[in-house]
Chains A and B, each alone.
Chain A
Amino acid sequence: MLVGLIVLSTSIVLIAIGLYGLMSSRNIIRTLLSSEILLNASILFTFTLSYLNGLTYPPVIYSVFAISTALIEVVVAFAAVILYFRSKGSLEVD
């Protein structure tokens, strides 16, 4: 139970840090990295709540899809970043 609470608190803190990174940075790559923090936090959050409710399969299936989709999203996002850099010569968002 205590372990679950520690991990749950960690995921809430990670969500806060990810949101802070999204709001405060104007660099595109830093924004993408902050969204990755949010992804890790949400997966941790899902697993902790499932652990506390005695569930095994739903979080695993959900997270397998989430991680695989995140991989696709990262590749597409970085392709867009490269095109943005080639056209603007900068990674700063106006």
Chain B
Amino acid sequence: MYLTSDVSSYLYEGVTALLAAFAIASAITIVKQKVVLYSAVALAFLGFSTAALIALLSPSAYGIYSVFHVLLYVGATVTFIALTIVLFRGIDVKPSPSAGVALGVVIAVLVAIVTAILIYPSVQASSTVPPALSLTELANQLLDAYWFPIIVLIVGLITTVIEALALARRR
């Protein structure tokens, strides 16, 4: 029994590490791939792996959000990006000047180091498991405390539909 629990723990951590590596590889593909359509496909894989990592953190608490992430982000946003890129078929990315690349590397590494220094010491102090998510409680919180942002969001999504129709009609 103990051995089984140990093995499942190793498996859980191994799968998480594998998905993390996959997410990083997808992000590198997005930045480095010359054909932008392949970058959009890699963005879909990044969305899938992000959703899987969120679900793996705590399946009972964040599982529902990870489904939402796949449906809305990968299903709508990435598909829209890929379809739009198809409009620009044949356009590849020209090589950037080396000064921008060097500056990008320096800033990215600096931000990563500073974030890690700021975050890691506080992470080790607390380790409590989040409680399971209840859809009723989530709906109550959204409709009671966040009713105005929801209305703004609905108006924004409606204007998005109108804009998409205008784009499709080429006006």
Could you list which residues of chain A lie within 8 angstroms of chain B, going by C-beta atoms?
A: 1-10, 12-27, 29-30, 32-34, 36-37, 40, 43-44, 47-57, 59-61, 63-65, 67-72, 74-76, 78-79, 81-82, 85, 91-92
A selection of 24 A-B contacts at a CB cut-off of 8 Å is: A3-B13, A8-B119, A10-B23, A13-B24, A18-B27, A20-B31, A21-B30, A23-B101, A25-B96, A30-B31, A33-B30, A33-B81, A34-B30, A37-B27, A40-B46, A40-B50, A43-B50, A47-B54, A49-B123, A56-B131, A57-B138, A68-B157, A78-B80, A78-B81
B76 touches A71 (CB 8 A): yes
A53 to B84, CA, bound (A): 40
Number of A-B contacts (CB under 8 A): 227
A56 to B147, CA, bound (A): 19
B23 touches A57 (CB 8 A): no
A37 to B149, CA, bound (A): 24
A78 to B76, CA, bound (A): 14
B36 touches A30 (CB 8 A): yes
Q: Is the interface of A mostly helix, strand, loop or mixed?
A: helix
Per-residue contact bits, chain B 79-105, to A (CB 8 Å; 1 contact, 0 not):
011001101100101101000110111
A53 touches B94 (CB 8 A): no
Closest Cβ–Cβ distance, residue B154 to chain A (whole Å) = 9
A16 touches B54 (CB 8 A): no
What is the total number of residues of chain B having a CB less than 8 Å from a CB of chain A? 80
Closest Cβ–Cβ distance, residue A76 to chain B (whole Å) = 7
B50 touches A59 (CB 8 A): no
B16 cross-chain contacts in A, Cβ below 8 A: 3, 6-7
A34 touches B20 (CB 8 A): no
Per-residue contact bits, chain B 6-29, to A (CB 8 Å; 1 contact, 0 not):
000000110011001001100110
B91 cross-chain contacts in A, Cβ below 8 A: 91
A53 to B39, CA, bound (A): 34
Q: Which of A12, A52, A57 contacts B137 (CB 8 A)?
A: A57
Q: Which of B43, B85, B100, B163 contacts A75 (CB 8 A)?
A: B163
A54 cross-chain contacts in B, Cβ below 8 A: 126, 128-131
A59 to B54, CA, bound (A): 11
B53 touches A81 (CB 8 A): no
Q: A12-B116, A71-B73 are in contact. List 19 more A-B contacts (CB 8 A).
A: A6-B16, A7-B56, A14-B27, A17-B27, A17-B31, A24-B100, A30-B36, A30-B93, A33-B30, A36-B43, A51-B57, A51-B62, A57-B141, A65-B149, A65-B153, A67-B72, A78-B80, A78-B81, A79-B163
